[in-house]
Amino acid sequence: MWPGQDGWKDGRLDDRRTEAVNAMTRRLRYAVAGGLLGLVAPAGLMFVRLRRRRFSPQSVLRELQVERETYIYSAASTSLVVALFGGVLGHHADRLAQLATTDSLTGLFNPRAFHDRLRQELARAARYQEPLAFLIVDLDGLKRVNDQYGHSAGDAALQSVADAIRSELRENDFGARLGGDEFGVLVPRADRQSAVALAERLQARVVSVGKALDRRGATVSIGIASMVPSKDNRPAPVALMTEADKALYLAKREGGNRIAGGEGPGPANSFRSTKSGAAW
């Protein structure tokens, strides 16, 4: 267990509560709007009934007195039905918003959501002058897997990496599929040592998940970047990603199934060789 894994709470928890409240508010707005639209039905009914008569406030009051139950039933039933429809519409709007930020194969966040969160976490780290780590996780030999065993086997290997990432993240961490065989993990309040410990656990978890699901012992290479932004020196998101990408290049150059990293800005350094399982 690494620092802060148990009971760690910060702005990310507030963000999740805010997202949940916003989702409920959207659904409520759709329902209220539907209910208000439902009132158009009795108004239309009254217009039809009074259009051949002289339209006046007195005629409206008389109509309501005579046909009170009809209008009450029309208003209540129509508003209820349209409000329910509005609630369902709000639910599907939330679902569409979720799909817009989720990778369909792995269920992790997609690049769009990742880049949004990276900017937020860099701003948060700079504001509180806290460390921020970023891991690029690359599935070793995906092209060879696709060529030898088919794309279904490659998809299964990618899903095993996603499962490993999900199982190892704290509540405040953020995992995404960046595209192809690459995944990104943002780790707020994590120094280099903590990031390496997480990378080692991820490597071991990928192997154990793959073996449990009979996925031929998939392995990953991981590049790490870690920095402590400040209010006066806030690196661009691309700077953190570039450092992690350099580290990943070192890990792959050494044969894969490795962890390498650096503390940016600056050159990446290889931490260690880690043979956590049999490669494909």
Report the alpha-carbon distance of residue 35 to residue 80 in Å, rounded: 6
What's the whole-model pTM score? 0.68
17 found inside a domain: yes
Give the pLDDT score at 57: 76
Structural domains of the chain, count: 2
Set 116, 181, 191, 214: catalytic member: 181
39 found inside a domain: yes
Express each pLDDT in 184-202 by its tens digit. Answer: 999 999 998 999 999 999 9
Give the pLDDT score at 213: 54
105 found inside a domain: no
- Same-domain status, 125 and 92: no
Percentage with pLDDT > 70 across the chain: 71
Give the pLDDT score at 92: 64
- Same-domain status, 17 and 120: no
- Structural tokens at position 245: 């990408």
CB neighbour list of residue 78: distance below 8 Å, 6 or more residues apart: 38, 39, 40, 41, 42
Give the pLDDT score at 158: 93
Structural domain that includes position 251: 111-273
227 found inside a domain: yes
Mean pLDDT of 217-245: 86
- Structural tokens at position 171: 């509540």
Mean pLDDT of 213-237: 79
Give the pLDDT score at 230: 74
Query: Of 76, 99, 122, which residue sits at a domain end?
Result: 99
Query: Of 35, 67, 99, which residue sits at a domain end?
Result: 99
- Same-domain status, 148 and 269: yes
Given a cut of 70, is residue 20 above it in pLDDT? Answer: no
154 found inside a domain: yes
Indicate if 181 belongs to the active site. Answer: yes
Indicate the SS3 state at residue 261.
strand
More confident residue, 98 or 241: 241
- Same-domain status, 59 and 154: no
User: At 7, is the pLDDT very low, low, confident or very high (cuts 50, 70, 90)?
Assistant: very low
Q: What is the mean pLDDT of the chain?
A: 78
CB neighbour list of residue 251: distance below 8 Å, 6 or more residues apart: 138, 221, 222, 223, 258, 259, 260, 270
1 found inside a domain: no
Given a cut of 70, is residue 266 above it in pLDDT? Answer: no
